[in-house]
């Protein structure tokens, strides 16, 4: 089954204490679509400016990403720049130029409207809702969000939660959104707002999956060298939703495997800047790391 993915497409400038790179392919839809493409065909929805490098269109196409819904507008592409501290969990946004993204109100291509799986990658909840409203009877809808929308568009986010099957957000966002210091309470509280499932991403501590009658705690891959954490959350969401679309079933074990596959893609993503590592990622490498996730979390009654 194919997956429709909407979100931002950006040119990023990223600075870490050791390296600095400019005009990198970035944005939530770029990361999420590349991640999902390892599992299933992707229908991408987004907007770029006339300055978006041709090589990036090629890269998407090589990964089986349908670009009929990627609008090319006059003007410059959305640009984001950020800086990480030595503790790579700490990020500072240096600048955001929305450019062509500012007035983006996508109309879906006809062929996209019956896509059974939908990932509303991180953009404003109003835009997420605008896209979702055009999809007819999707089987499973996942949305990602961030602190900005929790703070600035809370009502729209709460409204969105009534229309999706799974919300993905990170640890601090879950606490901020619910005003709960206890993460377990926070996850369960979000379930009551509508979605059947909630995934709380905890970075180096793995992730938690909450359902009304299930709970899954996934480890993080023990990475010693993280080069650029940008896009890890988007890759998680893309890998998670792409895996569900490939399996085309929603049961507890498939959801758990989706969490692990999302974590696997994210763990590769951060090994290099932008989507560089994913460009050369292979299916055997995905399988190899999946097996390691299993080995490192397994114990048998002795």
**How far is Cα 160 from Cα 4, in angstroms, rounded to an integer?**
17
Q: Give the nearer residue to a copy of itself in terms of CB position, either 89 or 105.
A: 89
Q: CA–CA distance from 191 to each of 83, 209, 267 (Å)?
A: 33, 11, 27
CB of 192 to a copy of itself, least distance (A): 14
Q: Give the nearer residue to a copy of itself in terms of CB position, either 52 or 177.
A: 177
CB of 297 to a copy of itself, least distance (A): 5
CB of 100 to a copy of itself, least distance (A): 37
Q: Give the nearer residue to a copy of itself in terms of CB position, either 196 or 205.
A: 205
CB of 228 to a copy of itself, least distance (A): 14
Q: Give the nearer residue to a copy of itself in terms of CB position, either 282 or 302.
A: 302
CB of 286 to a copy of itself, least distance (A): 12
Instruction: List the alpha helices (DSSP H) in 133-231.
Output: 147-152, 154-161, 171-178, 183-191
Euclidean distance between the first and final Cα of the chain, in Å?
A: 41
**How far is Cα 294 from Cα 291, in angstroms, rounded to an integer?**
5
Which two three-digit tokens encode residue 214? 């299930």
Q: Give the nearer residue to a copy of itself in terms of CB position, either 63 or 247.
A: 247
Distance of CA 145 to the CA centre of its chain: 9
CB of 141 to a copy of itself, least distance (A): 21
Chain position carrying tokens 């819904």: 69
Q: Give the nearer residue to a copy of itself in terms of CB position, either 104 or 236.
A: 236
Percent helix, strand and coil across the chain, each to the nearest 5: 40, 25, 35
CB of 10 to a copy of itself, least distance (A): 27
**How far is Cα 292 from Cα 161, in angstroms, rounded to an integer?**
34
**How far is Cα 179 from Cα 228, in angstroms, rounded to an integer?**
30
Evaluate whether 268 touches 285 at the Cβ level (below 8 Å). yes
CB of 296 to a copy of itself, least distance (A): 5
Q: Give the nearer residue to a copy of itself in terms of CB position, either 93 or 217.
A: 217
**How far is Cα 205 from Cα 196, in angstroms, rounded to an integer?**
23
Q: Give the nearer residue to a copy of itself in terms of CB position, either 46 or 187.
A: 187
23: nearest Cα among 1, 47, 61, 49: 49
265: nearest Cα among 28, 77, 13, 37: 37
**Interface contacts to a copy of itself, rule CB under 8 A:** 86-89, 181-185, 188, 202, 204-206, 208, 215-220, 222-224, 226, 247, 253-254, 256-257, 259-260, 290, 294, 296-302
């Amino acid at each position: 089954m194919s997956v429709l993915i909407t979100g931002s497409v950006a040119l990023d400038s990223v600075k870490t204490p050791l390296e600095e790179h400019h005009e990198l392919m970035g944005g939530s839809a770029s990361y999420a679509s590349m991640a999902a493409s390892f599992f299933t065909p992707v229908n991408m929805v987004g907007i770029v400016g006339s300055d978006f490098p041709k090589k990036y269109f090629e890269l998407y196409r090589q990964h089986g990403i349908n670009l009929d819904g990627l609008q090319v507008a006059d003007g410059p592409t959305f640009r984001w720049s950020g800086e990480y501290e030595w503790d790579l969990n700490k990020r500072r946004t240096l600048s955001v130029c929305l450019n062509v993204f500012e007035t983006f109100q996508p109309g879906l291509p006809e062929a996209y409207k019956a896509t059974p799986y939908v990932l509303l990658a991180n953009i404003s909840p109003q835009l997420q809702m605008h896209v979702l409203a055009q999809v007819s009877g999707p089987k499973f809808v996942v949305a990602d969000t961030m602190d900005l929308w929790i703070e600035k568009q809370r009502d729209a986010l709460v409204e969105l939660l009534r229309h999706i099957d799974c919300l993905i957000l990170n640890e601090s966002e879950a606490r901020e959104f619910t005003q709960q210091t206890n993460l377990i309470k926070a996850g369960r509280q979000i379930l009551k707002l509508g979605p059947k499932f909630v995934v709380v991403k905890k970075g180096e501590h793995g992730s938690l999956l909450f359902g009304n009658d299930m709970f899954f705690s996934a480890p993080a891959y023990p990475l010693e060298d993280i080069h650029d954490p940008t896009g890890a959350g988007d890759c998680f969401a893309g890998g998670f939703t792409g895996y569900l679309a490939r399996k085309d079933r929603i049961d507890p074990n498939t959801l758990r495997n989706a969490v692990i596959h999302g974590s696997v893609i994210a763990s590769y993503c951060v090994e290099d800047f932008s989507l560089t590592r994913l460009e050369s990622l292979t299916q055997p490498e995905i399988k190899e790391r999946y097996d390691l996730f299993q080995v490192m979390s397994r114990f048998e009654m002795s």
